[in-house]
Amino acid sequence: MKSRGENCGVFGIVKDTDCVEDIYRGLDFLQHRGQQFCGIATCGGGRIYLITHYGQVGNTFASRELETFKGNMGIGHVSLKERQPMMWQGAVGEIAVAFSGNIINSEALLTEMKDRGEAFYHGLDIEIISKLILQEKGIITGISMLAEKIKGAYSLVVLAQDGVYAARDVYGFRPLILGEGPGTYLVSSESRAIQNIGVYHLRDVRPGEIVFISEKGFETKRQLKSPRRAHCAFEWAYTASTDSKIDGRYVQEARNNLGKSLAERDREEGGIQADLVAPVPLSGIGHALGYHMVSELPYQEVFLYNRYADRSYTQLTQEDRDRMAKKKLSVLRYALRDKRIVLCDDSIVRGTQISEKVRDLKNAGAKEVHVRIACPPLMYPCDFGISTRTYGELLARGFLANGNITTLDQLKVLERWVSERIGADSVRYNSLEAFVEALKMPKESLCLKCWDGKSPIELLE
């Protein structure tokens, strides 16, 4: 489970009837990407209607409130860190803006803009992005300018008087997907929001592409030069919902493959004596199923997931994250008494939560717990909008203060070290090579900075 995340979800739609119900439903299907704030903006009759809330979409937007929205086009946002969309008046008229991602050079941009006389409410990334767009005469030029000014990741939606603009940074860090149905054109951070609204998943917005969405459909207004792709590999391992498809690759398939890869390694190393394979729900499920497919160990749930708990990484403080992690899972004692369990999870950050899980299973009667982790050891913080975890929070950094895990022998020593710390009978991670192989994406199209420390942006400078 992750440390603090800054991930968000965006949604936009243009259709032939009022759209607010679709935005509401779309955001509900993106809720796993951020549960602290949500917001909807629509445009109708020449004006923009905007409401944001603290909390989740389903708990905060009342029917009567939804009825106040007018218009057949709009955008929405779910987030951990700030209220979006934000509404602005500019030379282009009234607009609303929302984005998913993170600006690395926000401090420098803020200073530069303040020195020019610009004022900010809070200096949030969304303010910087909006003001950079509004500095230009047109929205397309404004969005294009972001690629020159911003170091970081952004998937963006802009609601204007004539339609919705959608854009992805030139590396394509965060996902952004187009969907189309009868009289309906939409864009979403994940395809699940598209398919569950009942329209077709059309295609991913390309890195550097600016798409205009109107009642006539989609139009690529500009394609900025993309130096390279850098899709966040974490999306497939953890962040995205299992029913989504991102940049041509099903999340479920990727997670199954990551679990299969762990089982294949166990088999190559002589096999494992165990009675069952189980996930840490929810994100460990796909990995555990993949492990089960190859190992043929019975798949059995040993934790019951509390459906009313939020994702632990989308909590603001470490205390909240630990509290949520405890609230999230309860042990299914019947399933595990005297059993040797292979326990699959997506990643280990500090190790606190996985050690609690191991202890809970052993206290409930499990004979052995062998931990299998889909991601390689996390060695670096993310700069691009998934997490603000620090070096000090990363368990693997306690083993290797500098440098990377580059050989299987090194990985095995680390695994023994982690195993002792978390009280497991054994630990295995996927190596970085096995991880990339399982995702079935070209290595050069992925951001792997969490593991190799190479920032896709710095690499190009």
- Give me the residues that bind ligand SF4 (CB under 6 A), please: 173, 232-234, 382, 384, 386, 447-450
Type and span of the H or E element at 102: strand 93-103
Nearest approach, Cβ of residue 4 and ligand SF4 (Å): 12
Q: Is 293 within 8 Å of 260 (Cβ atoms)?
A: yes
Task: Report how far residue 49's alpha carbon sits from residue 13's, in angstroms, rounded to the nearest whole number.
Answer: 14
The SS3 call for residue 244 is coil
Q: Which structure tokens are listed for 231?
A: 């899709």
- 437-460 as b/e, with b when 16 or more CB fall inside 10 Å? ebbebeeebbbbbbbbeebbbeee
Nearest approach, Cβ of residue 342 and ligand SF4 (Å): 26
User: Whose CA is closest to 18, among 65, 53, 57, 68?
Assistant: 68
Of 8, 43, 232, 447, the catalytic one is 8
User: Which CB, 88 or 435, lies closer to ligand SF4?
Assistant: 435
- 97-108 as b/e, with b when 16 or more CB fall inside 10 Å? bbbbbbbbebee
DSSP state, residue 154: E
User: Which CB, 129 or 450, lies closer to ligand SF4?
Assistant: 450
DSSP letters, 309-331, are SPPGGGSSSHHHHHHHHHHHEEE
Nearest approach, Cβ of residue 381 and ligand SF4 (Å): 8
Task: Report how far residue 8's alpha carbon sits from residue 397's, in angstroms, rounded to the nearest whole number.
Answer: 27
- For tokens 């042990």, the residue is 331
Q: Taking each helix axis as running N to C, give the angle between helix 106-115 and helix 125-134, from 0 to 180 degrees, rounded to the nearest 10.
A: 50
Task: Report how far residue 320's alpha carbon sits from residue 298's, in angstroms, rounded to the nearest whole number.
Answer: 34
For 159, other C-beta atoms within 10 Å of its C-beta total: 29
Residue number, nearest CB to ligand SF4:
382
User: Which CB, 167 or 450, lies closer to ligand SF4?
Assistant: 450
User: Whose CA is closest to 88, among 36, 142, 37?
Assistant: 142
Query: Residue type for 328, please?
Result: K
Peptide bond into 282 cis (omega under 30): yes
Nearest approach, Cβ of residue 235 and ligand SF4 (Å): 7
Nearest approach, Cβ of residue 165 and ligand SF4 (Å): 23
User: Which CB, 155 or 295, lies closer to ligand SF4?
Assistant: 155
The C-alpha R_g of the chain, in whole angstroms, comes to 22
Q: Is 283 within 8 Å of 345 (Cβ atoms)?
A: yes
Establish whether 8 is a catalytic residue: yes
Q: Catalytic residues, which ones? A: 8
